[in-house]
């Protein structure tokens, strides 16, 4: 029967040959939540309020976010520790986004057909906030998982190289 220490050593040794699928899948999930946010917000057409420069910036940011997140998922798969910081920055960006576009749209009233309505309804605002918060949470957890696993693998490899010498 194997001891817990032996099992841990085997798990660490297997990491040299397997990918960090948990971390990369969490990043994919964060991208999915961002896409849901994207669809939820950009399907809206409330008067002309959505036709402004900020929507263009938001669309470009969404595209850049998805590209960087996908690139980071590939780095996370290979236990590259630096990508943990990229994921943290992307997660912080998702939190900041809550206070820019959705908050402004929810606080703005527009007149459509002589009736005063919110540019973003309460339900849509809650959905947008949940999608962005869930995306950020997935990114932060993926960063923590990658940071922990990459440090453990690095220490394990250093230990193996120390045994060879």
Output 1 or 57, whichever has higher pLDDT. Answer: 57
Beta strands per DSSP E along 29-146: 109-112, 115-118
- How much is the average pLDDT of 11-19? 81
Say if CB 27 and CB 87 are below 8 A apart.
Answer: yes
Q: In whole angstroms, what is the distance from residue 37 CA to residue 100 CA? A: 14
- Range from 71-85, 124-138, 145-159 carrying the lowest mean pLDDT: 145-159
Q: How confident is the model at residue 126 (pLDDT cuts 50, 70, 90)?
A: very high
- Range from 33-37, 51-55, 126-130 carrying the lowest mean pLDDT: 51-55
**Which ranges constitute the DSSP H helices of 16-121?**
21-42, 53-77, 82-98, 101-107
Q: In whole angstroms, what is the distance from residue 164 CA to residue 149 CA? A: 23
Question: 138 φ, ψ to 5°?
Answer: -60, -40
Residue 38: what pLDDT?
92
Output 160 or 41, whichever has higher pLDDT. Answer: 41
Q: In whole angstroms, what is the distance from residue 128 CA to residue 98 CA? A: 8
- How much is the average pLDDT of 48-74? 90
Q: How confident is the model at residue 165 (pLDDT cuts 50, 70, 90)?
A: low
Q: Whose CA is closest to 94, among 119, 131, 149?
A: 131
């Amino acid at each position: 029967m194997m001891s817990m220490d032996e099992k841990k050593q085997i798990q660490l040794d297997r990491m040299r040959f397997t990918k960090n699928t948990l971390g990369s899948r969490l990043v994919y999930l964060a991208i999915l939540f961002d896409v849901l946010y994207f669809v939820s917000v950009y399907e809206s057409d409330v008067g002309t309020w959505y036709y402004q420069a900020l929507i263009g910036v938001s669309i470009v940011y969404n595209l850049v976010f998805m590209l960087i997140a996908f690139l980071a998922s590939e780095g996370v798969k290979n236990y590259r520790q630096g990508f943990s910081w990229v994921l943290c920055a992307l997660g912080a960006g998702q939190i900041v986004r809550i206070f820019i576009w959705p908050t402004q749209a929810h606080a703005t009233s527009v007149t459509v057909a002589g009736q005063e309505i919110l540019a973003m309804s309460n339900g849509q605002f809650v959905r947008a906030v949940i999608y962005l918060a869930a995306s950020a949470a997935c990114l932060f957890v993926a960063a923590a998982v990658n940071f922990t696993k990459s440090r453990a693998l690095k220490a394990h490899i250093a230990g193996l190289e120390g045994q060879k010498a």
